[in-house]
Chains A and B, each alone.
Chain A
Amino acid sequence: MSEAVADDVAVPEAESGSSLWRDAWRRLKKNRAAVVSAVILAMMILGCVLVPVLGSHDYASQDLALGATAPSGEHWMGTDPLGRDIMARVFLGGRVSFAVGVIATLVSFAIGVTWGGVAGYFGGRVDSAMMRVVDVLYTFPFLILVILLQVFFANKDGTFHHLFQGIIGPLVEDAADPSWFPVFQICFVFAALGGISWLTMARIVRGQVIALREQPFVEAARSIGVGHAAIIFRHLLPNALGPIIVYTTLTIPQIMLTEAFLSFLGMGTQEPLSSWGLLAAKGAEVMELYPWMLVFPAVMLALTLFCFNFLGDGLRDALDPRIRKD
């Protein structure tokens, strides 16, 4: 008996966790729009991973003699005026767009949920101080700030670039190679977008936690000796999961759009790399001549935004155990 106990120490956590998710999964499967969205997103992500690797065209190689051509058997999404394959560029752009959207959202999720949860739970002066920080940050015109940071600090001699090289230095051998510079620029965008988008998350979570912390079950948890951190993360935040998930799934497309906007302005992703925003911006310039250059990246972006919205909606329903099992 005692041996079995010792072996199973980690089991209940994982077990109860996985069965919550199993229930949620079962409910999610019944929501057709969410399932279709999830499948489309999965295919899209798979495409973004595989197409640049397996595709027969390179995203950067030019064929000036070919120039811009409409979609054909050879180039399924056509080519741009430099003769580059649009499909290769769209899927490479998808990599960047997804990565920016997801990573920046995770950053904003981690900061926002913790910040809002702590402020809402403790209330009083702690809450006032923490939320004043959020208020002050809100008043900054952040997009302009990101652009300024980008212009003044995201250059090859800037502090941030040295910091970036310091971080990747131990990981790769050619950290000083200029080919890493575009990667640095993208990472800068991750950090900047994540850093600005947690404010709304913090406010939403704080509001939820304030409404929840007066619930008797929180007092009941305190009455059995549960500590503050466990109450916030085990009792309060799971109960706020619905709005958090919905807002998260809305943040991803929002950040993808912001990235697109920055790229459009020439501040985000730089040629020859691509992102959907950058491709759409380039396509918009020539939409009357070569509409396929705009249509494909725009459709991919729009489809992704739709799918995230449907999926978020489905997840909110699925994660609520109060909805009857049937």
Chain B
Amino acid sequence: MALLEVDDLQTHFFTEEGVVKAVDGVSFRVDRGEVVCLVGESGSGKSVTSLSLLGLVPSPPGRIVGGSIRFQNGETSEDLVKASEARMRSIRGDRIAMIFQDPMTSLNPYMRIGRQLAEVLEVHQDLRGDAARKRCLEMLEAVGIPGAASRLDDHPHQLSGGMRQRVMIAMALLCAPDLLIADEPTTALDVTIQAQILELIEERKNEMGVGVLFITHDLGVVAKMADRVAVMYAGRLVEQGSVDAIFEQPQHPYTEALLRSIPRIDTGGGRDRLEAIDGLPPSPANLPPGCPFHPRCRYAVDPCRETFPDRRRFDLDGHPHEAACHVPPEERG
């Protein structure tokens, strides 16, 4: 039984310009102690997927219109799509926690670090006072904040970006959640700090056995962090599989194009020009018919313009893999 099993999730936004299918039939799973990377360009629906898991899709205009999010909670599993707002509130921060992209603005500037951390314990465990403070202190030390005791009484502006992201991670882990959602947690940080934060997340994952859904557009981060990778394009999952298979034998033309567009140290040796993907990502309000990638796809054939391809499931090097493309790799010219 997977920790998290998302099946055919559909989150749509009902705007004046029409229905925006930000997430349209996404299925994936996350197991305990595993890092699943959700990869895609801006606007591909990665963040909306993660907000859907927490029931935080801004509503109106957004709404989960279909699918299920089965989350294993102890012995039982429940569908978060059907859960009440009160139930979701008790899950957020306690069983499923989230780390955000920009640590500079994700902490309340008017609240001391200790108070903000303690709020999680207050909400979920009714823990206050010295006991809460002690737990916060331990957690700050666990995420590697030097002089943690004095930091508890600081305001967020007194900390650097990397420190603040450590505080956000501490806050997310305080209740020992089962699932951690990290929404581009290193995008706003310096490269050197990025590596530290990634190591911290990995270390905490190993220690606490938490499942991690890691959202990023940085394939370098994916290569470092992921056990499995799911690639999103225009609200759909186009391919998912083990990290090695994705990098070595991409099955979907979009994944292939993505990988060709990043510089690699082991091939080319700098002589070849980097390839860009032709065209622009489609507007989510106005998707092309059929496979949304076909206008940019070098292998596109007639069926691509008419229907979205079914997901093909198969084993690749002993790992389950799936891709949604009309053109099998062996038929690509």
Contacts and interface: CB of A to CB of B under 8 A. Distances in A.
Interface of A: 1, 4-5, 8-13, 16, 19-20, 124, 215-217, 219-227, 230, 234-235, 238-239, 241, 321-322, 325
B56 interface: yes
Contact of B112 (A8, A11, A16): A16
Interface of B: 54, 56, 60, 89-94, 97-98, 100-102, 105-112, 114-115, 118-120, 123-124, 128-133, 153, 155, 157-158, 168, 171-172
Contact of A124 (B60, B92, B93, B102): B60
Contacts of A227: 89, 123
Contacts of B133: 12
Contacts of B155: 321-322
Among A222, A224, A227, A235, max chain B CB count under 10 A is at A224
Contact of A321 (B89, B91, B92, B157): B157
A5 B119 contact: no
Contacts of A225: 89-94, 120, 123-124
10 contacts: A12-B132, A16-B115, A216-B101, A216-B105, A223-B100, A224-B120, A225-B91, A225-B120, A239-B108, A321-B109
B106 A224 contact: no
A4 B98 CA distance: 32
A9 B109 contact: no
Contact of A226 (B105, B119, B132, B158): B119
Given A12-B133, A16-B112, A217-B105, A223 B118 contact: no
A224 B170 CA distance: 12
Contacts, number: 103
B56 A224 contact: no
A222 B100 contact: no
Complex A-B, nearest 10 residue pairs according to Cβ-Cβ distance, in ascending order: A224-B93, A8-B129, A225-B92, A225-B93, A223-B98, A216-B106, A216-B105, A238-B110, A220-B106, A5-B131
A219 B56 contact: yes
B105 A215 contact: yes
A133 B102 CA distance: 37
A321 B56 contact: no
A215 B98 CA distance: 16
A217 B107 contact: yes
B281 to A, nearest CB: 24
Nearest to A6: B129
A179 to B, nearest CB: 48
A239 B109 contact: yes
Nearest to A224: B93
Contact of A224 (B110, B157, B171): B171
A235 B97 contact: no
Contacts of A4: 130
Contact of B123 (A10, A216, A224): A224
Nearest to A324: B157
A166 to B, nearest CB: 41
Determine which residue in A13, A216, A225, A321 has the highest number of CB atoms from chain B within 10 A of its CB, and name it: A225
Contacts of A5: 129-131
Contacts of B158: 325
Nearest to B117: A224
B107 A223 contact: no
A3 B62 CA distance: 48
B130 A224 contact: no
A220 B92 CA distance: 10
A315 to B, nearest CB: 14
Contact of A222 (B56, B153, B157): B56
Residue of A216, A227, A234, A235 ringed by the most chain B CB atoms within 10 A: A216
A219 B119 CA distance: 14
B115 A217 contact: no
A219 B131 contact: no
B108 A9 contact: no
Contacts of A124: 60
Given A16-B114, A219-B106, A224-B172, 18 more contacts: A4-B130, A5-B130, A9-B129, A12-B129, A20-B110, A220-B106, A220-B107, A223-B100, A224-B93, A225-B90, A225-B94, A225-B124, A234-B119, A239-B108, A241-B110, A321-B110, A322-B157, A325-B158
Contacts of A321: 109-110, 155, 157
B93 A223 contact: yes
A221 B105 CA distance: 12
Contacts of A13: 128
Contacts of A241: 110
B54 A223 contact: yes
Contacts of A224: 92-93, 97, 119-120, 123, 171-172
Contacts of A19: 112, 153
A219 B100 contact: yes
Contact of B115 (A12, A220, A223): A12
B168 to A, nearest CB: 7
A190 B289 CA distance: 66
B130 A8 contact: yes
B131 A220 contact: no
Given A9-B128, A216-B100, A217-B105, A223 B92 contact: yes
B110 A239 contact: yes
Contact of B56 (A10, A223, A230): A223
Contacts of B118: 12
B89 to A, nearest CB: 5
A39 to B, nearest CB: 28
A193 B112 CA distance: 37
Given A12-B129, A322-B157, A223 B108 contact: no
Contacts of B89: 225-227
